[in-house]
A and B are shown apart, each in its own frame.
Chain A
Amino acid sequence: MPYTELIHKYLRHNKKFPHVWCPGCGNGIVLGALIRAFDKMNFDMEKVVLVSGIGCSSRLPVYVDCNTLHTTHGRALTFATGIKFAKPELNVIVIMGDGDATAIGGNHLIHAARRNIDLTAIIINNNIYGMTGGQYSPTTPFGAKAATSAYGNIEHPFNISELVAVAGATYVGRSTAFHAKLIDKLIIQAVEKPGFGVVEVITHCHTQYGRRNNTPTAVEMMKLQQEKAVLIEKAKKMSPDELKGKFTIGTLVDRNLPNYCSEYSRIRRVALTKTDK
């Protein structure tokens, strides 16, 4: 479907635009990928719920014409858990940034993965708190400058995809804003996979991160994404030396585990057979 038609079909095009993001921001690329994925999956948008927390990326749902819920900072997954568990027929997709998902909401992230409730979390990772003015986040690289690390960041970053993988997510995919088409594919895989699926999108905040770290434009930062990202299939054939300073993209984890909602249906049947105490 041509872009204009997609926009008219899936976005609140006559209500909410222009959007809040800076020119060159990667969030719009993720939004584009999301509506292309919706279109490919031929979703009934009345059954889609987009949930977010607080931050630049969490403003994404308001632009989409479906059920949209903009919650408190870090807590989007908890609201999404309630929605999905109360009405499992809904497709619940959660949009978070790196600060939202891994700092204030870090506990909810690992527990949603461990619980394996059937949600899709799209984590837009730009390594910084953009909306509040560029303070360092749990994914800001060691040594990087931020509004609260003027002398260089002395904390070590989370690798979000590895974190959710060890926490139990059944699906983990990673892409970059540069590899836009790959995002569509990963979103579809994550949504269609029963259980907790995560799509991490490495993106750029040239406004708050780039200008403090010698890459002041979106183009420069996207070039870095192109250089550093290696498809997982290709990475398997590369040596550790060749992979130094690079990160993998593609489908990183895809496994089958019992998921919360279907297990709970079983619990309901078991509970029925038990008599009063």
Chain B
Amino acid sequence: MDHKRQTLFIQGNEAIARGALAAGCNFFAGYPITPASEITEIMSRELPRRGGSFIQMEDEIASMGAITGASLAGAKSLTATSGPGFSLMQENIGFASVTEVPCVIVNVMRGGASTGLPTNPGQGDVMQARWGTHGDHPAIVLSTSSVSDCFSLTIKAFNFAERFRTPVILLSDEMVSHTREKIILPGKDEIEILNREKPSVPHEWYIPYEDTEDGVPAMAEFGDSYKYHITGLTHDINGFPTRNPKEVEAFVKRLFRKISNHKEQIQIYENFETEDADIIVIAYGSVARSALRAIKIARKMGIKAGLLKLSTLFPFPKSEVQNAASKAIKLIIPEMNTGQISREVKKAISDCPVEVVKLNRIDGSLITPKEILKYIEEVD
């Protein structure tokens, strides 16, 4: 990471790798998959020369296990994949979630279910990112829409992972990850880096899963001389398995509380000309770019259109969506899926009289500004 600002012309996947390195990532485990392989390749070249560690595992299940293990030994760890690999990772993502292990998982979304459309963009993994692993658990899910986002949101992903002791999922898509565009990388001093809190108490006082007000217990790393037990079984504050209903409930509640109590810090979004807008487009990922273009053209045509761009998908920015709904007559939600975020929007604004219009493409193609503009005009 340079001390000075740098202007570059790079693709989204390279910006993700650079963002990870800037955030202090020193461990990567992954398995090749289109359209995420560039991240893996860059990390294989960059990590060893920085004293970090890269390992190509036998599959994505193993990759997720390895980054969790590395993080327990103190590393800042990353893996990158696409839909099929993301499916394989789910069980171990749940493990990292309940054992509260910081790590970052990048899913560069491709089109379709199953093997799908490996070289096309898609947004079909949004709800999988939220609910892919079994059982109730909180989730932090971010979404990138530009090369510049790829850099800054990867740093945010690491910061959230460290601050809240949780796996963080960063969703990119084939279009964002393979587009090359200009990016101004900030200097080292301009980047905020967060690191996990370590215990400072004597060993015998350390409570690895302490139910603190903040909800995020201090994390000892293996070798730090705090010997304790970690298990995917539901555990008590000392880390040992429990079936005591009171302890089980307290644990699950804290897991949710540590995210929900800090949701304002986590929810990242941007408003473009929404202040006086009658029509607000709510978009994320590469679609947000088409949406921005569409509202700009609409404004020139005299239509009061605005954009709410979501960078945090979960915890879902409910208040901000409600805010948009209270101002607008209609909301347009374009997505490259059958409407995964539109359902969250509808849930959030069930009390508002605003009309919600879905715009979906499920053919592996981008949603163009023209298509969104057509919807804006129709609504108008």
Contacts and interface: CB of A to CB of B under 8 A. Distances in A.
Interface residues of A, number: 42
Interface stretch (B112-120, B160-168, B223-231, B300-308): B223-231
Nearest to A48: B227
Given A62-B229, A78-B65, A271 B222 contact: no
B49 A274 contact: yes
A82 B68 contact: yes
**Which secondary structure dominates where chain B touches chain A?**
mixed
Contacts of B70: 82-83, 85-86
A166 interface: no
B91 A72 contact: yes
28 contacts: A15-B240, A46-B227, A49-B222, A61-B229, A62-B229, A62-B240, A67-B222, A67-B223, A68-B227, A68-B230, A70-B229, A70-B230, A75-B65, A78-B64, A81-B57, A81-B65, A81-B66, A82-B27, A82-B72, A86-B70, A86-B74, A87-B74, A87-B75, A87-B223, A107-B58, A108-B58, A111-B62, A260-B55
A87 B231 CA distance: 20
Interface string A63-90: 0011111111001011111111111011
Contacts of B58: 107-108, 111
A272 interface: yes
A85 B223 contact: no
A82 B92 contact: no
**Interface residues of A, dominant DSSP:** helix
A201 to B, nearest CB: 23
Contact of A16 (B64, B227, B240): B240
A107 B59 contact: yes
B222 A78 contact: no
Contacts, number: 137
B73 interface: yes
A162 B334 CA distance: 57
Contact of A268 (B49, B62, B65): B49
B51 interface: yes
Contacts of B225: 46
B95 A72 contact: yes
B376 interface: no
A267 interface: yes
Contact of A71 (B67, B74, B227, B232): B232
B51 A268 contact: yes
